[in-house]
Amino acid sequence: MLKLYNTLTRKKQVFKPLGKEVMLYTCGLTVYDYGHIGNFRAFIFEDLLRRTLELNGFNVKHVQNFTDVGHLVSDADAGDDKMEVGARREHKTAWQIAQFYIDAFLEDEKKLRIKQPTIRPRATDNIPEMIEFIEKLEEKGYTYATDDGVYFDTTKFKTYGRMAKLDLKGLKAGARVEMGQKKNPTDFALWKFSKGAKRDMEWEAPFGKGFPGWHIECSVMAMKYLAETIDIHCGGIDHIPVHHTNEIAQSEALTDKRFANFWMHNEFMTVDGKKMSKSLGNFFTLRDLSEKGFSPLAFRYLCIASHYRSQMNFTLEALEDAENTVKSINDFVFRIKNTEGAESKKIIPAVEKADKDFMQWVNDDMNMPEALSIVFNLMKLVNKEIDSDKGNRSELDRVYDFMIKVNTLIDVVEEKSATLSDEEKKLIELREKFRKDKDYKAADEIRAQLKEKGIILEDSPQGVKWKRV
């Protein structure tokens, strides 16, 4: 039984999908710059969620967009457009900027072993649908026009701000300055009119030439590629008070149905207690970490090992620890695949219990710190048994199966940890033959050759053992 924390109810709830497939929508990157590792914390959390659903036997239809248009620097519909700012900075068109950072994102995503979404639409490929959506909201009386755009009137949507528990009266009293012609501080742009210089990205619409507001794209793409009511919608907690609040308002105003059954949000990655963000300049990209010699999988592990609903303070020391842990997991997988001893009797009961406990913690709103501590306790026990030459093939195979199951979530095991190539196998066999023939010189040459490939051989009473270093 899988329980997930739902921001709508502030409770863990048993998860049941509406239909055969879980309909999952996750807000994607705004592609005006490289994603920073705080952004990737969100995408790794969503990857873990998807893998958890799949481990529980669900099929997942996962949609994640690219915000490749508009998206104003401030959530309050003011300031410059992020895409146009990126284009000016790099002397390219907004279209070129979008393509460049989409490609960069795809590379990073692959290195982090984040599963590809089932469908990955771009906002700019869905403009007619957005226009249609806004027209329908207009017909239902939810919108008004100002000099600079078409706005959603949040007072018309009776439960506006419920998920975020917004203090609407307080907001109204506090915000007068940046309102422009907006009727209420929480009203938001569905469409902005093009003004002044020609924009790289603008479209004709019945209400005037321009470009979509940020929030509309996710409602449109979630409904188009999934359904009017979806199972789970995700993003970082910064999306709760504005982006997701506005998605709910416009979607439910349009359909009179609930937009998403579960809303799930990851906490921030912070630096010295502050949210990692472009605007504060306190961010790293995955490329920065690679230049410092860290592997993307260490970063992946760091994210997976901290609870997604806890703040995660990023330090290079923590990343170094994660790098070591990934190595120890790989060494362990390698060891259990390539050693064998006498029957242990302790291993099977331990692994059966670990398996059960692991799943219980995973299914308790993805409590990975607890789930992983179960794995480490098992590793300790099995390592001790192997140190005293215990653990027969079938016992260690059972441990291996469990580790592979764990790896379906954490995905940090390198394939080479568990296997030898055919050529490597042949070399080891050849060395064995030379040793039998007492041609120790030739045997040592092969040992040296394998060492160069990072394979260390150990001769033991049970035969030759190997490990990769």
29 binds, among Zn ion, ligand AMP, none (CB under 5 to 8 A by kind): ligand AMP
Q: Does 238 bind ligand AMP (CB under 6 A)?
A: yes
Going by C-alpha positions, the residue among 233, 231, 227 that lies closest to residue 266 is 233
Q: Does 242 bind ligand AMP (CB under 6 A)?
A: no
Q: Residue 147's CB: how many other CB atoms inside 10 A?
A: 8
Minimum Å distance from CB 75 to ligand AMP? 10
Binding mask 14-33 for Zn ion (x = CB under 5 A): -------------x------
Q: Does 330 bind ligand AMP (CB under 6 A)?
A: no
The smaller minimum CB distance to Zn ion, of residues 27 and 396, is found at: 27
Going by C-alpha positions, the residue among 206, 209, 213, 208 that lies closest to residue 190 is 213
Q: Does 184 bind ligand AMP (CB under 6 A)?
A: no
Site for Zn ion in 382-411 (CB under 5 A): none
| Binder of ligand AMP out of 24, 269, 298, 322 (CB under 6 A) | 269
Number of residues that bind Zn ion (CB under 5 A): 2
Q: Does 38 bind ligand AMP (CB under 6 A)?
A: yes
Q: Does 77 bind ligand AMP (CB under 6 A)?
A: no
Q: Which stretch binds ligand AMP (CB under 6 A): 136-144, 275-283, 391-399, 460-468?
A: 275-283
Unique residue bearing structure tokens 């507001």: 213
Q: Does 82 bind ligand AMP (CB under 6 A)?
A: no
Site for Zn ion in 162-221 (CB under 5 A): 218
**Which residues here bind ligand AMP, judged by CB under 6 A?**
27, 29-30, 38-39, 41-42, 235-236, 238-239, 266, 268-269, 275-277
**Which residues here bind Zn ion, judged by CB under 5 A?**
27, 218
